[in-house]
Amino acid sequence: MTVLKPTRREILSMAAAAPALTLPVVARAELTAPAAGNPSHFSFTLGEAKLTVVSDGRLEVPANGLGVNADPEAVKAFLSDYFLSTETNYSHTNHIVIELGDATVLVDVGSGSRFLPTAGELMKNLESAGISPASITHVVITHAHPDHIWGVRDDFDEAILPDAAYFLGQVERDFWMQDGLAASMPPDMQQFVVGAVNSINVEGADWTLLSHEQEVAPGVRVIDTPGHTPGHLAVVVESGGQQLIALGDSMNHAYMSFAQPGWYNNFDMDGDQTVTTRKRLLDMAATDRMAVLGYHFPFPGVGHVRKAGDAYQFVPALWQW
């Protein structure tokens, strides 16, 4: 098993240094943010389900963590070919709210105020989308990395959505809660473990532990997608004969994960398993024409999977008004 452990110090130092790492204008055309910001939510329907993608903000981490099992020059060439920085991996954080029947399901709870300063906007953006946090009945966690679970706690270390039912994979919970895990990790990675443990142990969250194909609410189930973390889950929504997979981080790059599915990243805790899972998901989504949502894809991150020779292509969904 290939185990790769990014350090929090590397992430935070990149966040501070990111403005200085922009490629020259001659290398790529870079679009910058407007002064007033951009919309933070996007809604659509799938059968009888109303789905809303809500942003938690963005992450900026070193691009040299991408494709760590490939030739670094090939990775740089790939990024340049897609008009992306070879220094900074700038990614979005796309949460989905599923309104189906009596359930309002939120997938992942974001970074909160404990991770990078560029994220932690989920609660504010839910309100701007017209979704009261109090209306959320179910919270499903795909995995216990900081940008997916650290937002579970408010400033008083209590569950930020105390009236919701909370769901987490059994394998994922058992991994992070095992005795001595933090001590076995490099010093900087220990913070990831402590943060996961504190999030899982948050006061006011009574966790239901999930396994493969278990239903969270009618029309919403989870499937095992291990590799990025040992117990990573994806969430499948099905209504009116249509399906969407909220991928979490099983595919965390909208171009590289499709065109080069055999490449994995330093955040993928088991690289080989990540590749196996990714290829299975790509084939399933392409064959069954399932929509997908990528957590770190360009906002809103919703689209389809197209077979392209021996690889695949992400096809963004067409917005409709």
Other beta carbons within 10 angstroms of residue 120's beta carbon come to 20
β-pairing verdict for 138-141 and 49-62: unpaired
- Phi, psi at 251, each rounded to 5°: -135, 115
Residue 209 has pLDDT above 90, yes or no: yes
Tokens 């590799």 correspond to 227
Q: How confident is the model at residue 189 (pLDDT cuts 50, 70, 90)?
A: confident
Give me the mean pLDDT over the 225-234 stretch. Answer: 98
pLDDT, position 36: 87
133-179 pLDDT, tens digit each? 999 999 999 999 999 999 999 999 999 999 999 999 999 999 999 99
End-to-end CA distance of the chain, in Å?
Answer: 46
Spatial CA neighbour of 123 closest among 135, 109, 137: 109
Tens digits of residue pLDDT in 33-64: 899 889 999 999 999 999 999 999 999 999 99
Residue 18 pLDDT > 90: no
Q: Give the confidence band of 12 by pLDDT, cuts at 50, 70, 90.
A: very low
Residue 240: Cβ-neighbour burial (10 angstroms; 0-12, 13-18, 19+): exposed
Tell me the C-alpha distance between 145 and 268, whole Å.
11
Cα atoms in the Cβ-side hemisphere of radius 13 Å centred on 286? 18
Helix, strand, or coil (residue 55) = strand
Q: Given this model, what pLDDT does residue 29 score?
A: 63
Tokens representing residue 223 in the block: 């499937």
Please indicate whether residue 26 or residue 250 has the higher confidence score (pLDDT): 250
